[in-house]
Amino acid sequence: MILATGGAGFIGANFVLDWIAATGEAVLNLDALTYAGNLESLASLNSDPRHAFVHGDITDRPLLDRLLAEHRPRAIVHVAAESHVDRSIHGPAAFVRTNVEGTFTLLEAARAYWGGLATNDKAGFRFHHVSTDEVYGSLAAGDAPFTERHAYEPNSPYSASKAASDHLVRAWHHTYGLPVLTTNCSNNYGPYHFPEKLIPLMIVNALAAKPLPVYGDGQQVRDWLYVRDHCAAIREVLARGVVGETYNIGGWNEKPNIEIVRTVCALLDEMRPDPAGSHARLITHVADRPGHDRRYAIDARKLERELGWRPAETFETGIRKTVRWYLDHADWVARVQSGAYRDWVATNYSAR
């Protein structure tokens, strides 16, 4: 079996579902169930013995030691993090705690466990760290996309905390020999995405005829990847990646935010027309994000060359599936919009 952290979040839940469907191997899922963790995303596994959930924190070393000793996983896939850039601007402490201290604690627990394994198990063990393209900083319009050799230039508290975690993972390999793999992925979208991030926020606001808040001029560029393609890439890297290496994962899908928002509006106009007019009428430019990175773009050729991975979805197929999913899962959205989420909307948007 494998241990996944953060398996009740957006990417984590998709990963657990994808992993069990694709490999049949059991997953021990450790998640603190912060505002972003939602076990309802895993409801289809409720009576499946291949999924075991533990409600706990990655900074809890005794818990980690106990879980590793009892369940003896062959790999750890570390997905848990504080993940929202805007939240990191309003409150960076939680990002340092989970992303830096939490990764450190998990690395130390993994090192102790791995050190005690029998020779064969020790050779096969992997610690897979799931990270982001934001550690590389921001690109100008004509710059080449990020390769794995790009300098680390994080600009937000979130990306700085993720960069710190990447450095810890690298050091635990070089110093202690822990068999690590790191993947740095671009912006994901798809089912179970918490509606604080651009695409799901635009879908749920548009359906409620609320303003669609576009930061600044809306010309910031992101490289969008359908989340199930990210999950498939993690499986490939975990199976065949070279220990100690990092792999960039991206969608070859650079698009300015305003184009993303207009695409979502056009799909909703088609699938759920609003008698009041096109959903694009709700687009509202608001104050920009402080320190807003202008452009991310991933060069994913290493992953294609060495492991044969390419995304299966184009943006056109992936975004259509995503909008359809939100239309078909109004109950999931309604329950996610808990009190904690409504408080966050007031904190982030009232002064804009």
- By C-beta, is 103 or 263 nearer to ligand NAD? 103
- Which pair of structure tokens corresponds to residue 112? 């102790």
Map residues 131-160 to x or -, x wherever contact with ligand NAD holds by CB under 6 A.
-x----------------------------
**Which is it for strands 51-55 and 75-78: parallel, antiparallel or unpaired?**
unpaired
Torsion of CA 157, 159, 164, 170, to 10 degrees: 180
The three-state (H, E, C) secondary structure of 41-60, written as one string? HHHHHCCCCCEEEEECCCCC
User: DSSP states of 71-105 as a string?
Assistant: H--SEEEE------HHHHHH-THHHIIIIIIIHHH
Measured CA to CA in angstroms, residue 203 lies from 81, 190, 308 at distances of 24, 11, 33
Query: Residue 98 touches which of ligand DAU, ligand NAD, none (CB < 5 to 8 A by kind)?
Result: ligand NAD
220 binds ligand DAU (CB under 6 A): yes
Short-list 195, 133, 130, CA closest to 349: 195
Query: Residue 233 touches which of ligand NAD, ligand DAU, none (CB < 5 to 8 A by kind)?
Result: none
Map residues 124-163 to x or -, x wherever contact with ligand DAU holds by CB under 6 A.
--------xxx-----------------------------
Cα gap 99→88, rounded to integer Å: 11
Please tell me which residue in 134, 148, 229, 299 is annotated as part of the active site: 134
Query: Residue 54 touches which of ligand NAD, ligand DAU, none (CB < 5 to 8 A by kind)?
Result: none
80 binds ligand NAD (CB under 6 A): yes
**Which residue is it, tokens 């069990």?**
20
User: Using the rule CB under 6 A, which residue among 88, 105, 187, 263 binds ligand NAD?
Assistant: 187
Short-list 292, 10, 270, 27, CA closest to 139: 292
Q: Which residue is nearest to ligand DAU (CB)?
A: 132
Please tell me which residue in 136, 158, 189, 192 is annotated as part of the active site: 158
Please tell me which residue in 18, 57, 133, 166 is annotated as part of the active site: 133
Size of the site for ligand DAU (CB under 6 A): 19
Q: What are phi and psi of 72, to 5 degrees?
A: 50, 60
Q: Which helix (H) or strand (E) holds 20?
A: helix 10-23
Alpha carbon of residue 95 to chain centroid = 14
Short-list 144, 245, 146, CA closest to 187: 146
Least separation in angstroms between residue 107's CB and ligand NAD is 14
> Which residues ranging from 257 to 286 are in contact with ligand DAU (CB under 6 A)?
257
CB 180 within 8 A of CB 129: yes
Return the range that interacts with ligand NAD (CB under 6 A); candidates 18-26, 73-81, 268-276, 332-340. 73-81
Least separation in angstroms between residue 209's CB and ligand NAD is 26
- By C-beta, is 102 or 282 nearer to ligand NAD? 102
End-to-end CA distance of the chain: 47
CB 130 within 8 A of CB 77: yes
Query: Residue 183 touches which of ligand DAU, ligand NAD, none (CB < 5 to 8 A by kind)?
Result: none
Give the active site residues: 133-134, 158
Binding site for ligand NAD (CB under 6 A): 5-6, 8-12, 31-34, 36-37, 57-59, 79-83, 98, 102, 130, 132, 162, 185, 187-188, 194
Binding site for ligand DAU (CB under 6 A): 83-85, 132-134, 186-187, 197-198, 201, 213-215, 220, 222, 257, 289, 296
